[in-house]
Amino acid sequence: MIPDIGLGTYRLKGQDVIDSVTTALELGYRHIDTAQMYGNEAEVGRAIADSGVAREDIFLTTKIWTDRFTHDDLIKSLEDSLERLGTDYVDLVLLHWPSPDNEVPVAESIGALVEAKSRGLTRNIGVSNFTMSQLDEALEVEGGDQLITNQIEVHPFLANKALANHCSEKGVRVTGYMPLAVGKVMEDDRLKQIADNHSVTAAQIALAWVAARGIVVIPSSTKRAHQQSNLEAMNLTLSNDEIERINALDRGERIANPSFAPVWDE
């Protein structure tokens, strides 16, 4: 249901995000990921509208920020997002993080997502940065069985294996953000060696490794050549030995870890 690769837009602003989305759609990307907190929904929407690609052919994701989790506020914030995006619906809306200190009960915010879906504001619902116990709680509340993904940080230096496996066991697909570890994968000798064996880049090897685990990847890039190579990485096949060598790079190196983050699973 969720395309296996998408374009992440975190940290991209103004003309940079317009150009990035425009180029990605020209190259064949059909999955675009944004969020209220990114401050770029209007530009993402403009690029989509001007692309010539039919709206129904694009899988568009946005995320609700934690200060809009109460029922009425969540619905209103999503309506505001749709106005900025210039569309009647998104294909997926996520709770961007668990509610800090459980200020808003998960049953309330999930209930609001379910209502948004029933009203046609979104086609699908999910969560992001939820731990195993938080995901279990979300799945158990009314409407929680409609959650289709948990978007979490995944790259060779943070395999997030326990949480990813738990999501799979619960029938929730993982979407992996920061799959290139904000460029750090390009500096790793082991990844570069494997890349040389395939005549590709270390970034492509990292993406192929994430995708081989059945995880959706949403790398961010402003350069056409990098976007193209990221797409081509989906066609790479790694040997079991190569996968094991990459697995061994896991060092629990978490990049997205704000002060309000939950207590992470080991």
Q: What is the pLDDT of residues 25-48, one digit of tens each?
A: 999 999 999 999 999 999 999 999
C-beta separation of 124 from 147 below 8 A: no
Would 177 be classed as within a structural domain? yes
pLDDT of the residue at 202: 98
Would 256 be classed as within a structural domain? no
Query: Would you say the C-alpha torsion 66, 70, 73, 79 has a positive or negative sign?
Result: positive
Would 1 be classed as within a structural domain? no
Measured CA angle at 167 (ends 148, 191), to 5 deg: 110
**Span 128-151, mean pLDDT?**
98
The identity of residue 156, as a single letter, is P
CA distance from start to end of the chain: 29
pLDDT of the residue at 186: 97
Residues recorded for the chain? 266
**Span 103-111, mean pLDDT?**
98
- Model's pTM, two decimal places? 0.97
**Span 104-123, mean pLDDT?**
98
- Beta strands per DSSP E along 109-245: 125-128, 147-153, 173-177, 216-217
Would 65 be classed as within a structural domain? yes
Secondary structure element (H or E) that encloses residue 62, with its range = strand 59-64
**Span 174-182, mean pLDDT?**
98
CA dihedral 118, 49, 51, 41 (to 10 degrees): -80
Would 253 be classed as within a structural domain? no
| Per-residue pLDDT band at 22 (split at 50, 70, 90) | very high
| Gap between the Cα atoms of 174 and 56, Å rounded | 23
C-beta separation of 156 from 185 below 8 A: yes
**Span 223-247, mean pLDDT?**
98
Would 266 be classed as within a structural domain? no
Question: Is residue 216 helix, strand or coil?
Answer: strand
**Total domain count, the chain:** 1
| Gap between the Cα atoms of 218 and 32, Å rounded | 8
* Catalytic choice (10, 29, 38, 89): 38
Q: Can you read off the two tokens belonging to residue 144?
A: 């929680």
**Span 204-214, mean pLDDT?**
98
Would 261 be classed as within a structural domain? no
The identity of residue 110, as a single letter, is I
Q: Is 155 annotated as a binding residue?
A: no
Look at residue 17 and tell me whether its pLDDT is greater than 80.
Answer: yes
Look at residue 266 and tell me whether its pLDDT is greater than 80.
Answer: no
Contacts of 183 by beta carbon, 8 Å cutoff, 6+ apart: none
CATH of the domain at 28: 3.20.20.100
Closest-CA residue to 222 (of 10, 59, 73, 35): 10
Would 187 be classed as within a structural domain? yes
| Gap between the Cα atoms of 114 and 112, Å rounded | 5
Is residue 89 part of the annotated active site? The answer reads no
| Gap between the Cα atoms of 211 and 31, Å rounded | 15
| Gap between the Cα atoms of 202 and 194, Å rounded | 8
Look at residue 89 and tell me whether its pLDDT is greater than 90.
Answer: yes
Domain that holds residue 175: 7-247
